[in-house]
Amino acid sequence: MKESTAKQTSSLKNLTKSGVWDIQENDIFRMLNSGSKDAEVKDNLRHYVDIIRSAFTIEELKEDTPAIRKSYEKQGYKVGFVTLDESTKVLWAIRKRPIMRVTDLTYENIRHISASKLVEVLDRNFGGGWDSLSQSIQDIIESGFDISTTTLPKDRLHKKGGMYEKKIADGYEVLEVAKGTWVEAIFAKLKPEVIKPRMKFDTIDEDVEIDEEDNYSSHDEEEEIDEFNEDEMNEDNYRTTFEIEGDPDEEAGELSEFSVDE
């Protein structure tokens, strides 16, 4: 895992807060100096330095003397010049941050330590068992390791064929925490790295014509209107929407029949 990650972080452009834990101080000097002529690196230099600082301590030295170099090298630093741009060169002392306490564990570095290193860190920091850790620390540890625990009397913990023996045979590291006459065993094993599949979305070819559904009713589906049939017409089904005016002369003649001579 570390070899593949180191290949991926061969330049500052590929550096991440997780991958930075797999490289060493000499890699930092090499990447900074090789990227000093890259315009993109120079524009984003502060971003890359922030990533480096998440895993390394960086000290800028004002003087370059053998005594100062030796002093920092005794503390585990690597000392060298870093070219930030064509006109700026600084002397840096760089050291990877040690993981000594459970509070040093993060989601970025948890998968970059071994199970034996985790057991060492746990052993150095507490004596109250797994439950004495905060929930946030437990979550970080379990994001990278398979953790299981058991608490048994001291004389039964190493019983042949028991859980302890099976876990050791399965490659787990174990930390034993004494609790009076009982012992809590904390088993830890690095989880296999799971590569999350990327979702693929189907694309629509713009050149393909999509037939739109015809929402209009066809002429054949329309109701047929009954044609006029003169033979079927009678006084019950015949009606008109206009009035027929009478003949004025005829009406006048009818009225004259009722006139009275004086």
Tens-level pLDDT at each residue, the chain (262 residues)? 444 444 555 788 899 999 999 999 999 999 998 887 888 888 899 999 999 999 999 999 999 999 999 999 999 999 999 988 777 899 999 999 999 999 999 999 999 999 999 999 999 876 678 999 999 999 999 999 999 999 999 999 999 999 999 999 999 999 999 989 999 999 999 999 876 665 555 555 555 555 555 554 444 444 444 554 555 555 555 454 444 455 555 554 544 444 444 4
Closest CA to 143 of 178, 108, 167: 108
R_g of the chain, CA atoms, integer Å: 46
**Residue written as token pair 């895993």:** 55
For residue 76, give the nearest of 58, 95, 57, 60 by alpha carbon: 95
**Burial tier of 20 (Cβ tally within 10 Å: 0-12, 13-18, 19+):** buried
How far apart CA 96 and CA 10 sit, in angstroms, is 17
